[in-house]
Amino acid sequence: MTSRLILKTDIESSAQQVVFVVHPDISCLPDRPGLFALLGRRGGDDRRPLYFGYADRSMLDQVPYDLGFARAIRDGMVSFASAYVPSGEDPHALVDALAQAYDAPVNAAGAAMAEIDEARQILHAQAMARRLAAQ
């Protein structure tokens, strides 16, 4: 029997629902594009989303090389889930909404690192501008 997991993009009742199919191991991921969730265990729940992502070609081929995969393993990943992108929806916006709604720790860490990198780039650009102005 196929296990399903219905996740909402927000806690409101009007939030969009995305139906994920749960897979016991990576070899069961579909060879098609779509949304994926890496699930971990917290307390008695072994379906806590650790990370949400999007594969634009094949989940089976892309998930092992996704930046969040290794981090999710370190955070206690135990299973996988996949979903079709609902018609007309932006998959990246769905990933962001799901990650925020479920407080996915791997997505949060990636967002924090992106903010740090952006701040470093701004500081670097300012320092270069000061050097050029001083010359």
pTM confidence score: 0.81
Using alpha carbons only, give the angle 110, 113, 122 rounded to the nearest 5 degrees.
Answer: 140
Domain boundaries, the chain: 3-134
**Torsion angle of C-alpha atoms 123, 124, 130, 135, degrees rounded to 10:** 170
Looking at domain 3-134, its CATH class is alpha beta
Residue range 57-80, pLDDT digits in tens:
999 999 999 999 999 999 889 999
Which two structure tokens, joined as six digits, stand for 116? 């740090």
As a whole number of Å, the end-to-end CA separation of the chain is: 71
Cα–Cα distances in Å, from 9 out to 47, 67, 96, 97?
Answer: 16, 22, 9, 5
Average pLDDT over residues 36-49: 84
Cα–Cα distance for residue pair 15/13, rounded to 1 Å: 5
What's the burial of 87, exposed, middle or buried (CB within 10 Å: 0-12/13-18/19+)?
exposed
